[in-house]
Amino acid sequence: MNSNGYVLVKLQPDDFFFPMVGKDGYVLEHRLVMAKHIGRCLQSWEIVHHKNSIRGDNRTENLQLVTDDRHKQISILEAKIARLQKENEQLRKRLNGKRNTA
């Protein structure tokens, strides 16, 4: 696992997906899982997004291949949703507190 919480996989030079490794011979697991899923090496500009934002959850159903612009849009929307969910929960607590004191 790297310092950003992503799982790394060491590949051998004879591996079909070896062109995706960094200088150290490792590839990010979520990129490898997606590459295997679509049956080709990923381009360096292709981004694999974790739908649930958990970097270690590299199940195929949790991964989405996106462009850089699309990834930024997804990240902005996810942050807004999380903020609204938090505000909603705080408002529910306040409302329940007022009901209990009435």
Cα 4 vs. chain centroid, distance in angstroms?
A: 12
Q: Are residues 55 and 101 in the same domain?
A: no
The answer to whether the predicted template modeling score (pTM) of the entire model surpasses 0.75 is no
Q: Are residues 76 and 96 in the same domain?
A: yes
What amino acid occupies position 93?
A: K
Mapped onto helix, strand or coil, the DSSP state of residue 73 is helix
**Could you read off the pLDDT of 50-82 as tens digits, one per residue?**
999 899 999 999 999 987 667 667 777 777 888
Range of the domain at 11: 1-66
Q: Are residues 44 and 90 in the same domain?
A: no
CB atoms within 10 A of CB 20: 19
Residue with tokens 């200088």: 23
Distance CA(14)–CA(71), nearest Å, equals 32
